[in-house]
Amino acid sequence: MVAKGKGILAADESSGTCEKRFQSVGVDCTEESRRAYRGLLFGTPGIEQFLSGVILFDETARQKADDGATFPAYLAKKGIIPGIKVDKGTVDIPLAPGEKVTEGLDGLSKRLDEYFKMGCRFAKWRAVITIGKNIPTHSCLYANAHALARYAAACQAASIVPMIEPEVLLDGEHTIERCEEVTEATLRATYAAIAAYNVFPEFLILKTSMVVSGKGNPRQAGPGEVAERTLRVLKRTVPAAQPGIVFLSGGQSDESATAHLSAMAATKGLPWPLTFSYSRALQNPALNTWRGEAGNVAAAQKAFHHRARMNSLACQGKWRPELEKQAA
Ligand code: 13P
């Protein structure tokens, strides 16, 4: 999953999220249009050079590529590891205004056994932490950390690699200092629970948000500062025994997500490889080019290939802005 020069495509948007993304480019969101779009991404010629894995949504894991293979089998044939989103989304935490906890633990072991049979070899669970006035609270961090750890233990028992994703949202006017403090508290709570539930760090992938300025804060930190603060937090909290760390893009611009990753990956002496596991920052240009038209498929694939290649360079610390202009 963290092989050199490769990263992970998050294509596990729920049908509701997919609807929002499709609406933004005027595409009807149906089972078939979702299948066609995912088929476009996975079928991009040469994409396996840059992707070690793809995270699928339940519906997609049961759909077929144009050649008749199920999507997990299709990806595996290309040497890409199929993964699966197994959480069931977030709900409000009672007595904790503005805070969410992720559901999906009931019946999880059974679902994992089925996903393993379908060919999925890693799974994802996303927890959402919001920064605001007096939040996150201890109860929010605690509830989400325990859910993540219980999910991770269930995955390891089912021979599926857990990818734990505690996402600190970038929405808000908070400073980067506040984001650093909250990210550290979130990861401390998460890893305390990981240890409490006997989860093996050796078979665990962290998918984390980066430490960035709140979207609405007038002072936007540059890549050097984002890298320094993010790495400080990760070094303080993530066991060196872990095989790797991947990042979500979280609503950053495509190029910022790439620049931030490259700045971090260029840092020498880290105990783990770092790479991308982006949804929006990999897919935006492809979706905007496709717009639901069969005639745009080749151009959309080219746009997707370009972003994947830029992020492949970034996870080796080799991306530079001028490379954006260079054809493959
Ligand atoms: P973004 O890269 O768009 O944040 O999505 C990653 C993801 O998997 C969110 O759960």
Give me ligand 1 centre to Cα 85, in Å: 11
pLDDT at 253: 98
β-strand partners of 125: 164
Q: Rounded to an integer, what is the distance from CA 194 to the centroid of its chain?
A: 19
Tokens linked to 322: 């001028």
d(CA 18, CA 8): 18
**Alpha-carbon torsion (281, 4, 301, 41), positive or negative:** negative
Q: What's residue 326's pLDDT? A: 81
Pocket of ligand 1, candidates 129, 249, 253, 307: which has the most ligand atoms within 8 Å of its Cβ, to mutate?
A: 249
Measured in angstroms, how far is the CA atom of residue 165 from the centroid of ligand 1?
9
Nearest C-alpha to atom 5 of ligand 1 is from which residue? Answer: 279
Domain range summary for the chain, segments of one domain joined by +: 7-327
Among 280, 283, 284, 311, which is best to mutate for testing ligand 1, by the most ligand atoms less than 8 A from CB?
280
Q: Which of 165, 279, 284, 307 to mutate to test the pocket of ligand 1 (most atoms within 8 A of CB)?
A: 279
The catalytically annotated residue of 165, 167, 180, 184 is: 165
Q: Which residues line ligand 1 (CB under 6 A)?
A: 10, 126, 165, 248-250, 278-281
Gap from CA of 210 to ligand 1 centroid (Å): 12
124 is catalytic: no
Q: Which of 207, 197, 213 is nearest to 127 (CA)?
A: 207
- Strand-pair partners of 122: 83, 161
Question: By alpha-carbon position, which residue is closest to atom 4 of ligand 1?
Answer: 250
Q: Which residues of the chain have pLDDT under 50?
A: none
Supply the pLDDT for residue 34: 98
For residue 328, the model assigns a pLDDT of 66
What is the full DSSP assignment across 207-233?
EE------TT-S----HHHHHHHHHHH
Q: Is residue 325 annotated as part of the catalytic site, yes or no?
A: no
Give the integer Cα–Cα distance in Å for 247 and 227. Answer: 12
First to last CA, the chain: 24
pTM: 0.98
User: Which CATH number is correct for 7-327, 1.10.275.10, 1.25.50.20, 3.30.950.10, 3.20.20.70?
Assistant: 3.20.20.70
Encode pLDDT of 97-148 as tens digits. Answer: 999 999 999 999 999 999 999 999 999 999 999 999 999 999 999 999 999 9
